[in-house]
A and B are shown apart, each in its own frame.
Chain A
Amino acid sequence: MNIFVLMKRTFDTEEKIVINNGQVSEDGAEFIINPYDEYAIEEAIQVRDKHGGEITVVTVGNEDAEKELRTALAMGCDKAVLINVEDDVEESDQYTTAKILAEYLKDKNPDLILAGNVAIDGGSGQVGPRVAELLGIPYVTTITKLDIDGGKVMVVRDVEGDEEIIETSLPLLVTAQQGLNEPRYPSLPGIMKAKKKPLEELELDDLDLEEDDVEAKTKTIEIFLPPKKESGKILQGELADQVKELVSLLHTEAKVI
């Protein structure tokens, strides 16, 4: 089976966010594989181990993403592709990323493409379905179970807490939700092997794309932090009095009840 995983390197949102010159500062920040993409990688490995085939993990980014690609290889992916847009793309949005990924994938005959359902930094959740649409294949988002039996595929989709049991077929794109699996940690032999696995680097040119073809259709004009919350009021006194005071504050001061 010809399997692809779409992966994004993200800022670890456990980090404190600092804004410098209108941008989220990356100085000294930790970067990770987007947690939802880790579920996608794990599922890809399980599917390959069961049905055979090869996994290519693909990212659009800059050379820093090599680290996360190596981690994906160490987990068990077979090949990695970095589409380096550092020199070509200044402003990008989900339209840009999806277009680049689809252009790369269009002649690769994928059977299965896996992605995270959302990236924890930008939080848009658009890229997976956009890529499927550009490739003309069906998609199922936020999946928690995947069963492939010949050409027939059974998927469980999380829909705001309820479950849809969906029948579909390959080729297919799915996006991973928490609960799909428990991503493995790279093993030491895995890390050693990963160093020798192929990591290909491409640029827009290699995909016959011009900068104009992928020009963003939206623009970020400002990034800001939430207003600092005044520290809250910790109530004092007898518990019963605290409760009375709280209800009264919610009613008269906060006016939410």
Chain B
Amino acid sequence: MARKVLTLAEIRDGSLRNVSFEAIAAAKTIADGGEVVAALVGESVQSYADELIYRGADRVVVVENEKLKNYTPDGFGQALMAVVDAEKPEGIVFGHTALGKDLSPKIATKLNSGLISDVISVEQTGGNFVFTRPIYSGKAFEKKIATDGLIFVTVRPNNIPALERDESRTGNVSSLSVDIKDLRTIVKEIVRKTAEGVDLSEAKVIVAGGRGVKSAEGFEPLKELANVLGGAVGASRGACDAGYCDYSLQIGQTGKVVTPDLYIACGISGAIQHLAGMSNSKVIVAINKDPEANIFKVADYGIVGDLFEVVPLLTEEFKKLKVHS
């Protein structure tokens, strides 16, 4: 049954986030031949609309307002509810990002709807859309369906492939003017702690360091390797607690959950709380000098050795590969 599905596009560091394209792809599946409408919300965001069309949206609704410069649940909630009221979608897809996690329960509650969050795949069986999501910190999975009207989901970054970009696609871009008022939370300041560049949750390659890295300088060879691979640097809590790097890099149960194509764990023992954040990565490489380290149990490939020897060698070898290919 064809249905109209709404997605919310997210902008970070001046570009649309990849997860927004993945949300469009998921929306397309759920729409089942129906229309995919992308909502674009912010202070001045009109210029991003075409890209959403190229990525598969059939239509874009832009809500611009100076009060939408920073995300707030009230501001974005009012903007999105205005779009929902105008469009009456039967499905909604957000990214499972800080913004998506914060806003989706509010919208779901306003719509008296269920919400299936952190979805990693969508399939159609019978008349139903079945959503798979990790539970118990990734140690198990559940399949869920929406049983009451609206299908509302958030999708985990890096799991549902985005559609091929197609510049020949066209679609209508319209503006909706919304009166944004009574913001009860106000963002006074944003303190940037993460590095510009590759976003950990969306990175295809992550080079992560643990306590075995031994110092802040010890992270340098990991950064070089990540650079060569166009990836991001991550860390265990052990490394963060020891002050070798910022907590914003922490991967695991209390840090970020990542699912890159390639995860290279350097000097990380593989504690269960760390595995919770990375065990669903497609390919895992472990470098550790202790052959008994738990990380080898989840690794596809392992090298037993000193990371300070192995990592620079790896960087050189990947450099050669890049030159040849």
The answer to whether B36 has its CB under 8 Å from any CB of chain A is: no
The answer to whether B88 has its CB under 8 Å from any CB of chain A is: no
Task: Tell which of B109, B149, B191, B298 has the most Cβ of chain A within 10 Å.
Answer: B109
Within 8 A of A (CB), among B275-325: 276, 279-280, 282-286, 291, 296-305, 309-310, 313-314, 317-318, 321
The answer to whether B168 has its CB under 8 Å from any CB of chain A is: no
Interface residue SS majority, chain B? mixed
The answer to whether B86 has its CB under 8 Å from any CB of chain A is: no
The answer to whether B248 has its CB under 8 Å from any CB of chain A is: yes
Do residues B247 and A232 form an inter-chain contact, with CB atoms below 8 A? no
Do residues A164 and B109 form an inter-chain contact, with CB atoms below 8 A? no
The answer to whether B167 has its CB under 8 Å from any CB of chain A is: no
Q: Which residues of A contact B285 (CB under 8 A)?
A: 246, 250
The answer to whether A68 has its CB under 8 Å from any CB of chain B is: no
Within 8 A of B (CB), among A201-221: 215-221
The answer to whether B181 has its CB under 8 Å from any CB of chain A is: no
Q: Which residues of B contact A148 (CB under 8 A)?
A: none
Do residues B229 and A129 form an inter-chain contact, with CB atoms below 8 A? no
- Taken residue by residue from 161 to 173, chain A's Cβ proximity to chain B (1 for < 8 Å, 0 otherwise) reads as 1111111110000
Q: How far in angstroms is the closest Cβ of chain B from A187?
A: 25
Do residues B246 and A222 form an inter-chain contact, with CB atoms below 8 A? no
Our pick among A19, A93, A132 for the contact of B140 (Cβ within 8 Å) is: A19
Bound complex: CA A93 to CA B116 (Å): 9
Q: Which residues of A contact B138 (CB under 8 A)?
A: 226
A interface, size bucket: 35 or more
The answer to whether B147 has its CB under 8 Å from any CB of chain A is: yes
The answer to whether B1 has its CB under 8 Å from any CB of chain A is: no
Q: How far in angstroms is the closest Cβ of chain B from A129?
A: 4
Q: Which residues of B contact A244 (CB under 8 A)?
A: 317
Our pick among B135, B253, B261, B305 for the contact of A239 (Cβ within 8 Å) is: B305
The answer to whether A4 has its CB under 8 Å from any CB of chain B is: no
Do residues A224 and B184 form an inter-chain contact, with CB atoms below 8 A? no
Segment from A54-62, A79-87, A106-114, A116-124 that makes contact with B = A116-124
Known: A232-B301, A242-B305. A133 touches B256 (CB 8 A): no
Bound complex: CA A56 to CA B193 (Å): 35
Question: Can you spell out 13 A-B residue pairs with CB atoms less than 8 angstroms apart?
Answer: A11-B136, A14-B273, A35-B254, A133-B106, A215-B148, A224-B143, A226-B139, A232-B302, A234-B304, A239-B303, A243-B313, A243-B314, A254-B301
A residues at B contact (CB < 8 Å): 11, 13-14, 17, 19, 24, 35, 93-95, 98, 120-130, 132-134, 138-142, 155, 158-169, 178-179, 215-226, 229, 231-235, 239-240, 242-244, 246-247, 249-251, 254, 256-257
